[in-house]
Structure 1
Amino acid sequence: MHRRALLALAIASGSAAALPGHAAGPAVRIGWLRAPNDLTTGRARGTLRHALEAQGATAEWPGPFPAAAPALEAMNAGSIDITAGSSTACITALAARIPMLIFACQPISAAGEGILVKRGAPITRISELQGRSVAVNRGGTGEYLLMRALDRNNIPADSVRRVYLSPGDSGAAFAQGHVDAWAAWDPFISIALASYDARLLADGDAIGSDNAVTLMCSRHFAETRPALLQAVFDTCLADNAWARANPAEAGRIWTDAMALPASLAPAIGANNAVPTRGVTDQDVAQIAQIADWYVASGIVPRRPDIGAGVLRLRPSR
């Protein structure tokens, strides 16, 4: 009698899922960054939530994380299942033996990364960075961009002083003239060009960057919830197609998520609405090439097996 009364009450209140035997579905914990990527888009549009609900699961959004490194630390601790980052973040994570897999790649546009100097600075070529200071994030995209640019121009790495700062602190140091240049990526590129009297000394093409945005999951999640991972992958591809068709609207989503002025939306939309795909042989080769740079530069102690850190997914529709 007591159980029947509880069941009737639960049905009347719409909460039958709270009773024993009616537990809610699994939660997919997506560690999101304040960054212009497909996870940010899916969070804002509600598409990831709806896709997971259709699979009997729920979406949870730990974060926002300030960068990929702390998100990957959370993944290593078992606190999140999925996150986004860059090729460089993947390399440092795999080198640290974090049990993660890359399941999607989005090449970064040339305008989405580069080395910045002040508009009036007497620096017109990469070679003129010798004897000067450049803000970079240690072991991340900034340090990679600087090292790649120096090597491509046959400039000794020790002839340029690397100043290791977080992206936020790098922006302040650059704006206040405490460093001569800043190796950065979007949205920091767009912010600096609009607000810090900056100009691009060299963009991603001039540097020869092979960097990309990546989507990553824990190995445990890929092994135990493959259908949910496929649903996330398919939804990210659909959101990416929407962003490419509507870059200004995507830019507004991203500037809102990053608490940036709406005036930056057109530039950030144009720089970051580029195609996402399942990981290809070309992607693996490019990430491996960056890994070689990291080992040669002493950023990581060993070259991780990039191929072993990849999960090949294909769109289901």
Structure 2
Amino acid sequence: MNQHRSVRTALVPALLTVTALVALSACGTSGADSGSGATSTVTVRIPDPGNSGVLAVGKKDGSLDKALGKAGARVEWTGSAGPFAPAAQAMNADQLDFATGSITSGITSLAQRPGFKFFTAVDPDAAGEGILVRDGSGIGSVADLVGKKVAVNQGGTGEYLLLKALDKAGIPADKVQRVYLRPDQTAAVFNAGQVDAWAVWAAYAVAEIGSGKAHFVADGAAIGSDNYSLNAVRTGFAEKHPGVVKALYDYLHTSSAREKKNPAAYLNVFTDVGPTAVTGRAEEVQTGFTAEGGTVDPIGPEDITRFEAVAAFYAEQKVTKAEVDITAHLLDIEKLT
């Protein structure tokens, strides 16, 4: 957690209690959660974490299954981690139980018919997200983006960062052309000079900055970003298996604190070669971002205030048709047993 912020306190009770969750279908049963005396193991469907991060380590050394086993659960790695929007759709369709995303992409997903709740918060990444430009581009400030093309992911972190940066600089949004691209398709377009800048976060910025050919013209701190990283759980799963959700939170919280202290131990978990490996200067960039970043914590009242500010901003900027009610989709992890 950011050392300059107060320790998070529990959500005010009026926001949400576990009993207020909508009951949807869930996979498996567990005596640890249901009190029925059943001994079957609950399966938690989680996107494959790839080659880096807390979940990658948990997959490799079995520590996540061990932690969840105490709550009568085990992991089923399903698909692969990626943008939150498709993961939200998978949770809505009862094909996934857990996913990670940003508050920005979360708000646009909540504007649909969400079947998930957010149960943790990681402070906005002040260093690892921002407006990326190529070295020598001639773009030295946000003001220099006027008349330029900027790649963003629609309704997600990229669009938020660009709009927030322009708003802070007093520049009308229509003075900059937004080019909507999927993040995994943008690097080639950016490096070919087909867009002038890229509003992006660490997962994609590290490789570009590590190449020594790009830099942030404004990072999250300069932009004043409220773009939290959140963990979401399928509503029906949380209602039926609160103890498993609590065990998952405990694992993520403890492991993220360890990752912050020793970022290198959470890189290149399965391989240090190939396209998924982070090496050279990029490794230095990533470890630096992680060391400066936050940890997985409960959602507190001060976080909710900032969530609501993002929702209001998205409505004001016409990203959403109306202001999304965030509080209706939050889970108080400290009330789970």
TM-score class, shorter-chain normalisation, is: 0.7 to 0.9
Task: Give the number of aligned pairs.
Answer: 297
TM-align CA RMSD = 2.5
Match of 2:87 in 1: 71
- 2:320 pairs with one of 285, 300, 305: 300
Q: State which drifts further: 26-35 or 104-113.
A: 26-35
- 2:331 pairs with one of 298, 311, 314: 311
Letter in 2 for 1:142: G
| 1:259 has 2:276 as partner | yes
Extract unaligned runs of 5+ from structure 2. Answer: 1-37
- Contact kept, 8 Å, 1:151 with 1:157, in 2: the verdict is yes
Letter in 2 for 1:165: L
Give how far 1:45 is off: 4.0
Letter in 1 for 2:324: P
- Contact kept, 8 Å, 1:117 with 1:199, in 2: the verdict is yes
Match of 1:272 in 2: 290
Match runs of 1:199-210 below 5 Å:
199-210=215-226
Match of 1:137 in 2: 153
Q: Secondary structure at the match of 1:291?
A: helix
**For residues 212 and 37 of structure 1, do their structure 2 counterparts lie closer, same or farther at Cα, with a shift above 3 Å needed?**
farther
- Contact kept, 8 Å, 1:249 with 1:269, in 2: the verdict is no
CA distance in 1, matches of 2:253, 2:70: 17
Higher helix share: 1
CA distance in 2, matches of 1:142, 1:302: 20
Letter in 1 for 2:277: L
| 1:195 has 2:216 as partner | no
Extract unaligned runs of 5+ from structure 1. Answer: 1-21
- Contact kept, 8 Å, 2:53 with 2:266, in 1: the verdict is no
Q: State which drifts further: 43-52 or 215-224.
A: 43-52
| 1:181 has 2:201 as partner | no
CA distance in 1, matches of 2:51, 2:232: 15
CA distance in 1, matches of 2:270, 2:295: 16
- Contact kept, 8 Å, 1:33 with 1:84, in 2: the verdict is no
Match of 1:282 in 2: 302
Identity rate, percent: 36
**For residues 184 and 34 of structure 1, do their structure 2 counterparts lie closer, same or farther at Cα, with a shift above 3 Å needed?**
farther
Give how far 1:136 is off: 0.4
Letter in 2 for 1:269: T
- Contact kept, 8 Å, 1:115 with 1:183, in 2: the verdict is yes
Give how far 1:268 is off: 1.5
CA distance in 2, matches of 1:44, 1:283: 32
**For residues 65 and 275 of structure 1, do their structure 2 counterparts lie closer, same or farther at Cα, with a shift above 3 Å needed?**
closer
TM-score, scaled relative to structure 2: 0.82
**For residues 285 and 253 of structure 1, do their structure 2 counterparts lie closer, same or farther at Cα, with a shift above 3 Å needed?**
farther
Q: Secondary structure at the match of 1:61?
A: strand
**For residues 155 and 209 of structure 1, do their structure 2 counterparts lie closer, same or farther at Cα, with a shift above 3 Å needed?**
same
Give how far 1:267 is off: 2.1
Give how far 1:54 is off: 2.4
Match runs of 1:121-160 below 5 Å:
121-160=137-176
- Write the deviation string for residues 87-138 of structure 1: whole angstroms up to 9, x where unpaired: 1121112111212111101113321100011110111111110001000000
TM-score, scaled relative to structure 1: 0.87
Give how far 1:212 is off: 1.3
- Contact kept, 8 Å, 1:255 with 1:261, in 2: the verdict is no
- Contact kept, 8 Å, 2:268 with 2:277, in 1: the verdict is no
- 2:131 pairs with one of 115, 127, 135: 115
**For residues 276 and 213 of structure 1, do their structure 2 counterparts lie closer, same or farther at Cα, with a shift above 3 Å needed?**
same
Match of 1:51 in 2: 67
Letter in 2 for 1:87: I
- Write the deviation string for residues 279-304 of structure 1: whole angstroms up to 9, x where unpaired: 01111111111111111121111222
Match runs of 1:69-108 below 5 Å:
69-108=85-124
Match of 1:240 in 2: 256
- Write the deviation string for residues 31-80 of structure 1: whole angstroms up to 9, x where unpaired: 34559654444334422211122222221111204311111110000011
Structure with greater contact order relative to length (CA < 8 Å, sep ≥ 6): 2
